[in-house]
């Protein structure tokens, strides 16, 4: 099969489009013919400097496709089914093998492109807001990097739950695009001070919940922007800065900082059902999957460079 591989981490130019051996199917695995790959924020960070369990390495969490092989111990999947999948790596290829437990049947009305974006992007947003963020109707939530993949999913899910939704992005143009997905008030952090803006918008109280996938100095501001007894969720490091922060503001405001990692929950029945339900909600048209642009798999380097240019609003896909 063909795959976008790399031999060392670095800029998008490390990708090579090469022939590699087809993946083999373990007893509890399925193999899929990939039809659409969602490039996750974590894929970009992993390519830039993440772990490489094998050389050459095939990066990538999420891909959707058609099952072409089923392991002997798998009883609930069969050849020909349309599934979307999540695995720690292997999405940037024509085929992937993975544990059947991290595959979900795609409802008829959902395309491969839409389904590819669901497990990590929407699953993480849902866990940040509800399972760990305990968001309730009537509360105010701040979503950092609202124009990112997880950010756009979180905006929709928070709005649907009856929250007032504030979100940040690096330009007014990006914020404008988020209104269609449920954004109430956008904050252009390149031009305005985030903490003063949040205070102005919340009668000086701060937000009930801040969801932060940027980390570093931005996470520090998320802590400051939360109200007394507020909750802050940290789930990522899109800003590529240090993980170190000053936690003194937590105690002074009786605030709670919680880390969220979907991978640690993915094999639970709860997470399995949650992602299955998100797919059903997309089929019913209750939530939308914003797709910015598609590239051929052979152009993986261009696609990653486009994401790093921070122009994308919604997911960028690769098509084998
Ligand atoms: N814990 C988990 O289970 C989990 C799951 C999914 C993702 N993640 C992590 O969460 C983070 C966000 O993921 P994502 O998929 O939403 O990412 P994404 O789609 O690539 O979006 C990231 C956003 O971050 C903003 N940003 C701020 N500083 C940046 C910088 N220095 N470089 C690039 N972008 C910057 C950009 O928006 P502006 O230009 O508007 O600021 C960009 O749209 C990543 O670190 C990812 O690894 C963790």
> Do residues 131 and 196 share a domain?
yes
pLDDT band at 241, cuts 50/70/90?
confident
Measured CA to CA, the distance from residue 293 to residue 309 in angstroms comes to: 13
Give me the chain's average pLDDT, please.
97
pLDDT tens-digit map of 52-107: 999 999 999 999 999 999 999 999 999 999 999 999 999 999 999 999 999 999 99
313 with 203, same domain: the answer is: no
Distances in whole angstroms, Cα of residue 207 to Cα of each of 126, 131, 155, 265? 18, 18, 15, 27
Are 128 and 256 within one domain?
yes
284 in a structural domain: no
Same domain, 101 and 197: no
Residues 133 and 231 reside in one and the same domain: yes
Pick the last residue of a domain from 248, 263, 278. 263
Q: Is residue 12 part of a domain?
A: yes
Residue 272 lies in a domain: no
Could you give the CA distance from residue 173 to residue 213 in angstroms, rounded to a whole number? Answer: 20
Same domain membership, residue 132 and residue 112: no
Name the residue range of residue 296's domain: 2-117+289-319
Token pair recorded at residue 65? 């496709």
∠ Cα 102 106 108 (to 5°)? 170
**Does the structure show a pLDDT above 90 at 26?**
yes
With respect to residue 276, please indicate whether it lies within any of the assigned structural domains: no
Nearest CA to 178 among 310, 279, 290, 282? Answer: 290
Here the CATH number for the domain that contains residue 65 is 3.90.180.10
Strands 207-212 and 140-143: parallel
With a cut of 90, say whether residue 137 has pLDDT above it: yes
The CA 154 to ligand 1 mean position distance, Å, reads: 12
Residue 279 lies in a domain: no
Query: Quick one: 228 and 108 in the same domain?
Result: no
Pocket test for ligand 1, best of 44, 86, 143, 145 (most atoms within 8 A of CB): 145
Query: Quick one: 111 and 198 in the same domain?
Result: no
Residue 242's pLDDT band, with cuts at 50, 70 and 90, is confident
User: What total of structural domains would you count in the chain?
Assistant: 2
Domain boundary pick from 263, 281, 308: 263
Residue 230 lies in a domain: yes
Query: What is the pTM assigned to this prediction?
Result: 0.97
CA distance 67 to 83: 7
d(CA 37, CA 40) in angstroms, rounded, equals: 9
In a domain, 37, yes or no: yes
Q: Is 148 in the pocket of ligand 1 (CB under 6 A)?
A: yes
Looking at residue 61, what is its pLDDT? 98
Tell me, yes or no, whether 76 and 200 share the same domain.
no
pLDDT tens sequence across 139-153: 999 999 999 999 999
Same domain, 129 and 248: yes
Q: Kindly state whether residues 131 and 34 are assigned to the same domain.
A: no
**Ligand 1 closest atom vs CA 123:** 5
Average pLDDT over residues 16-20: 98
Based on the domain organization, do 14 and 77 belong to the same domain?
Answer: yes
Q: Is the CB of residue 12 less than 8 Å from the CB of residue 308? A: yes
71 within domain boundaries: yes
User: Distance (Å, rounded) from C-alpha 207 to C-alpha 228?
Assistant: 9
Q: How far is the CA of 148 from the centre of ligand 1 (A)?
A: 6
d(CA 102, CA 84): 8
Under 8 Å between Cβ of 100 and 78: no
CATH code (residue 235): 3.40.50.720
Compute the average pLDDT of residues 258-269: 97
Q: Is the CB of 110 under 6 A from ligand 1?
A: no
């Amino acid at each position: 099969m063909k795959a976008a591989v790399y031999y060392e981490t670095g800029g998008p130019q490390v990708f090579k489009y090469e022939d590699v051996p087809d993946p083999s199917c373990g007893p509890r695995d399925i193999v899929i013919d990939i039809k659409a790959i969602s490039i996750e924020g974590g894929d970009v960070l992993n390519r830039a400097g993440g772990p490489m369990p094998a050389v050459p390495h095939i990066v990538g969490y999420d891909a959707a496709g058609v099952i072409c092989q089923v392991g002997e111990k798998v009883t609930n999947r069969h050849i020909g089914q349309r599934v979307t999948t999540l695995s720690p790596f292997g999405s940037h290829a024509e085929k992937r093998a993975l544990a059947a437990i991290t595959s979900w049947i795609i409802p008829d009305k959902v395309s491969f492109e839409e389904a590819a974006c669901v497990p990590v992007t929407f699953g993480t947003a849902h866990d940040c807001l509800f399972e760990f963020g305990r968001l309730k109707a009537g509360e105010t939530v701040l979503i950092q990097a609202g124009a990112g993949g997880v950010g756009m999913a979180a905006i929709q899910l928070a709005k649907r739950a009856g929250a007032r939704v504030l979100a940040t992005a690096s330009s007014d143009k990006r914020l404008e695009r988020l209104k269609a997905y449920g954004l109430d008030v956008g904050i252009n952090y390149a031009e305005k001070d985030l903490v003063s803006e949040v205070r102005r918008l919340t009668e000086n109280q701060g937000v009930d919940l801040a969801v932060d996938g940027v980390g570093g100095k931005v996470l520090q501001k998320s802590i400051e922007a939360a109200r007394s007894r507020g909750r802050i969720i940290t789930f990522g490091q899109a800003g590529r800065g240090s993980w170190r922060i000053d936690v003194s503001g937590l105690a002074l405001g009786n605030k709670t900082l919680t880390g969220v990692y979907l991978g640690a929950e993915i094999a639970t029945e709860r997470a399995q059902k949650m992602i299955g339900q998100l797919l059903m909600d997309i089929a019913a048209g209750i939530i939308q999957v914003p797709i910015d642009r598609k590239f051929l798999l052979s152009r993986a380097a261009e696609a990653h460079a486009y994401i790093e240019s921070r122009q994308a609003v919604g997911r960028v896909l690769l098509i084998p």
